[in-house]
């Protein structure tokens, strides 16, 4: 019996040794990924698409009908004010002018004859040689001849105008964008004025008509800085300024957008009418801001780290205040109530800044939770207003240590618009659903 117990004990020890040396999984240590706050540039932006077009265009048409006989302007032609662009066949208009000139000469001859007759009849009537009826008849014929001369003169003036309208001149200095007629083509101006040319006044100044969604339009204001790209030059970022926000809504497929006019210089003439622009309207920008990654706000240490580090969480009272403030900032209809204070704070309708949040900081072998105040949050970077120093080692995640694994580098978000200049940080753009919100509060 004793021998059997010894054998069993030996087998158990052998099994335990085999499990320990061959089957037990090695516990891999958890490595915290940290970062130090950096001073840089952060922005929040609204994205939209739009069409590049000249600031001002003029449609040149014809007020008379006829056949195009002369054409002096083509696409992309630079024209001056008063320059002859096209000319209709003037033969019919000239014939009408000649006819009214002859009619005017006849009317004037008739007027001279009726005036002589009226003068003679007046002398005879004054001496009593003719009746009053004969006198009034001569007077009526003379006045009729006068009216006939005025009528023919008006008709001649109208026909002369039509003859002048057969020559079409440029009303402004500019560049011909569109030519809708050719030599020999008949122009019919009976019902509406046909457009022969479209002239852009100044193509060194362009504008972009952006379609901004109703969810984003509340953050857009006149004077905001804008950058945009076009497919023709994907590596070039063009700059502009919000010049006008039109009140008229545009509804397409149950999506409401508002036309926002953005002015942009075009000195190098790279922008052409009709180009599609991918637009970033910067609604908030901060230079020299203390920045941390947005994922640091969401990090919460796992309990398993208690074997490696000591935890020092923040106080409960401060956390409750921060959570309550966060709830209030998300719901503008409610105001926070501080513990022990029944007064109600006034609701702040300004953009959310100074939002409380919590991050974990690594100090030696200790993990300390710190309360911070955040400003702009573009979902990639967060502006820190108070609570952190550039030397703090902020924890933004953790990973399992693997031998020979390379250290993870900083990955730039593919959704971020280009940074302005060489400033640090970055500005993420908001999607169609709205601009990026303020920094998140506590967890």
pTM: 0.66
What pLDDT is recorded for position 304? 77
Is the pLDDT score of 326 beyond 50? no
Of residues 300 and 427, the one with the higher pLDDT is: 300
Share of the chain above pLDDT 90, in %: 65
Residue 330, pLDDT > 50, answer: no
**What pLDDT score was predicted for residue 303?**
79
Q: Is the pLDDT of residue 325 over 80?
A: no
What pLDDT, on a 0 to 100 scale, did the predictor assign at position 92?
93
Distance CA 409, CA 419 (A): 19
pLDDT at 223 over 80: yes
Structure tokens that stand for 344 in this block: 């109600």
| Complete edge-to-edge strand list for the sheet that includes strand 167-169 | 167-169, 84-88, 66-71, 186-187
Q: Could you give the percent of the chain with pLDDT greater than 70?
A: 79
pLDDT above 50: residue 344? no
State how far Cα 8 lies from the chain centre: 82
Summarised one tens digit per residue, pLDDT across range 19-59 is 666 655 555 677 889 999 999 999 999 999 999 999 999 99
Per-residue confidence (pLDDT) for residue 34, from 0 to 100? 92
Determine the Cα–Cα distance for residues 42 and 424; give it in Å rounded to an integer. 8
For the segment 75-103, what is each residue's pLDDT rounded down to a tens digit? Answer: 999 999 999 999 999 999 999 999 999 99
Burial-class residue 5 by CB neighbours within 10 Å (0-12, 13-18, 19+): exposed
422 has pLDDT over 70:
no
State pLDDT tens for residues 363-420: 988 899 999 999 999 889 999 999 999 999 999 988 765 555 544 444 444 455 555 5
Provide mean pLDDT across the span 131-154: 95
Say yes or no to pLDDT of 191 above 90.
Answer: no
């Amino acid at each position: 019996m004793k021998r059997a117990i010894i054998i069993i004990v030996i087998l158990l020890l052998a099994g335990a040794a085999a499990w320990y040396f061959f089957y037990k999984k090695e516990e891999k240590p958890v490595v915290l990924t940290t970062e130090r706050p950096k001073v840089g540039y952060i922005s929040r932006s609204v994205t939209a698409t739009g069409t590049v077009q000249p600031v001002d265009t003029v449609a040149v048409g014809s007020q008379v009908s006829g056949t195009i006989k002369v054409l002096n302007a083509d696409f992309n032609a630079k024209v001056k004010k008063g320059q002859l662009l096209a000319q209709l066949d003037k033969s019919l208009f000239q014939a009408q002018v000649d006819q009214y000139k002859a009619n005017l000469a006849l009317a004037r001859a008739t007027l001279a004859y009726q005036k002589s007759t009226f003068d003679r009849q007046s002398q005879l009537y004054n001496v009593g040689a003719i009746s009053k009826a004969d006198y009034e008849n001569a007077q009526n014929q003379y006045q009729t001849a006068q009216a006939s001369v005025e009528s023919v003169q008006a008709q001649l003036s109208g026909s002369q105008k039509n003859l002048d309208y057969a020559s079409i001149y440029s009303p402004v200095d500019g560049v011909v964008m569109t030519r809708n007629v050719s030599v020999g083509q008949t122009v019919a101006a009976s019902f509406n004025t046909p457009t022969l040319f479209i002239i852009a006044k100044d193509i060194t100044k362009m504008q972009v008509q952006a379609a901004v969604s109703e969810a984003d339009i509340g953050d857009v204001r006149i004077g905001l800085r804008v950058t945009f790209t076009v497919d023709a030059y994907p590596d070039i970022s063009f700059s502009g300024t919000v010049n006008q926000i039109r009140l008229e809504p545009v509804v397409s497929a149950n999506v409401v957008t508002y036309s926002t006019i953005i002015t942009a210089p075009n000195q190098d003439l790279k922008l052409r009418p009709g180009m599609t622009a991918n637009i970033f309207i910067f609604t908030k920008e901060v230079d020299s801001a203390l920045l941390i990654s947005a994922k640091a706000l969401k990090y919460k240490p796992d309990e398993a780290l208690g074997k490696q580090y000591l935890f020092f969480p923040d106080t409960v009272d401060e956390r409750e205040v921060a959570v309550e403030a966060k709830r209030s900032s998300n719901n503008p209809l409610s105001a926070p109530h501080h513990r022990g204070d029944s007064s109600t704070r006034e609701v702040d309708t300004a953009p959310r800044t100074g939002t409380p949040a919590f991050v974990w900081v690594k100090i030696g072998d200790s993990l300390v939770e710190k309360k911070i105040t955040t400003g702009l949050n573009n979902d990639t970077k967060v502006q820190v207003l108070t609570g952190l120093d550039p030397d703090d080692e902020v924890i933004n995640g953790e990973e399992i240590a693997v031998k020979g694994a390379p250290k993870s580098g900083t990955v730039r978000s593919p959704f971020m618009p280009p940074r302005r200049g060489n400033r640090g940080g970055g500005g993420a753009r908001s999607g169609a659903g709205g601009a990026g919100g303020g920094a998140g509060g506590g967890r």
